[in-house]
């Protein structure tokens, strides 16, 4: 990975937008850990369904909660789920891909079948099954997204690892006596890093969307944890009467997922020299 990738990343509009939105999300999550404008769970039945004002920047909901404070506090939940789910997905994906690509034949084929079987289970279905056993919590969302998207990473990374493993420098490293672990960490993973980065950024976006969807259905964050999806669930019966109130949590989910995808795509272009070379060649042809 070239040391100039931050400059390459910021040369792309999608990369700039992704970095800015993710930076705002991270800062909001950190600040919300210690402070929010108002108590996000405080209710005031005498000030229900108020529009945006100086006292309530985004208005209030049906029980008088300050929508801005709740959305602000829920950014912490979204970031936590995105980071932890991506870590779980990365570990699951790399382990399955490495075993499926580098292990002995008697182990490679069962792992390939296991990946195909797990891919058939949607993330939401895995989360609902875990919720039935563990109860609604962020833990089951993290585990479900980590396993569900980890097998997708494994399917993509397995082919990339097998491709890189046939290159001359990897064969030379093996001939020099490097073990499978050193070959994986020193040669294989660095060369498939751009692919992993894109997949992990997509995993973060899927995690935010899955947590919101599960909380909307009642299988995600518990009532004591602020969540954009839970707020949407509380507002769904009033969306035709007070549509502006439901816009804010929906907009937060949409922008966050879009930023993860844009950041991943721009980072892949910035770190993969093959894409930059191909782009320069196309410009010369034109």
pLDDT tens per residue across span 38-84: 999 988 888 888 888 888 888 898 888 999 999 999 999 999 999 99
Give pLDDT tens digits for 222-239. 888 899 999 998 888 888
Q: Is 207 helix (H, G, I), strand (E, B) or coil?
A: helix
Give the pair of three-digit tokens for residue 159. Answer: 């082919």
| Residue 200, burial from CB neighbour count under 10 angstroms (0-12, 13-18, 19+) | buried
Structural domain of 196: 5-285
CATH number at residue 10: 1.10.3720.10
d(CA 192, CA 236) in angstroms, rounded, equals 43
**Mean pLDDT score across all residues of the chain:** 82
Q: Give the number of other CB atoms < 10 A from CB of residue 2.
A: 12
CA–CA distance, 111 with 92 (Å, rounded to integer): 12
* Token pair of 259 as six digits: 């930023």
Predicted local confidence at residue 276, as pLDDT: 53
Predicted model pTM: 0.84
Query: What are 106-157's pLDDT values in tens digits?
Result: 787 888 888 888 787 777 777 777 777 777 778 888 888 888 888 888 888 8
What are the tens digits of pLDDT across the range 235-254? 888 888 888 888 999 999 99
Domain count, the chain: 1
- Residue written as token pair 């990946």: 115
For residue 8 the two structure tokens come to 């390459």
pLDDT for 285:
44
Compute, in degrees rounded to 10, the torsion defined by CA atoms 252, 258, 262, 263.
40
- Which residue's entry shows tokens 């299988």? 219
Rounded Cα gap, residues 185 and 260, in angstroms: 26
Q: What is the DSSP string of 152-167?
A: HHHHHHHHHHHHHHTS
First to last CA, the chain: 28
Q: How far is CA 108 from the centre of its chain?
A: 28
Q: How many whole angstroms separate alpha carbon 172 and alpha carbon 161?
A: 16
């Amino acid at each position: 990975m070239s040391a100039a990738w931050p400059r390459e990343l910021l040369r792309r509009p999608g990369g700039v937008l992704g970095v800015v939105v993710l930076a705002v999300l991270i800062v909001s999550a950190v600040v919300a850990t210690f402070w929010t404008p108002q108590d996000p769970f405080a209710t005031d039945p005498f000030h229900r369904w108020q529009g945006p004002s100086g006292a309530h920047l985004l208005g209030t909901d049906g029980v008088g909660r300050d929508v801005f404070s709740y959305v602000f506090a829920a950014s912490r939940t979204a970031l936590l789920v995105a980071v932890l789910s991506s870590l779980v997905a990365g570990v699951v994906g790399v382990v399955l891909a490495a075993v499926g690509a580098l292990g002995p034949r008697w182990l490679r084929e069962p792992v390939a079948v296991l990946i195909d079987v797990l891919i058939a289970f949607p993330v939401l279905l895995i989360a609902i099954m875990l919720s039935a056993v563990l109860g609604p919590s962020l833990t089951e969302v993290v585990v479900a997204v980590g396993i569900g998207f980890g097998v997708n990473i494994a399917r993509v990374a397995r082919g990339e690892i097998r491709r890189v493993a046939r290159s001359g420098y990897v064969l030379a490293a093996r001939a020099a006596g490097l073990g499978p672990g050193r070959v994986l960490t020193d040669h294989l993973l660095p060369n498939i890093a751009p692919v992993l980065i894109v997949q992990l950024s997509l995993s973060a976006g899927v995690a935010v969307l899955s947590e919101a969807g599960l909380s909307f259905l009642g299988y995600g964050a518990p009532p004591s944890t602020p969540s954009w999806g839970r707020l949407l669930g509380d507002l769904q019966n009033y969306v035709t009467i007070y549509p502006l109130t439901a816009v804010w949590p929906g907009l937060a989910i949409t922008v966050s997922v879009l930023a993860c995808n844009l950041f991943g795509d721009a980072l892949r272009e910035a770190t993969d020299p093959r894409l930059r070379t191909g782009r320069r060649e196309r410009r010369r042809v034109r």
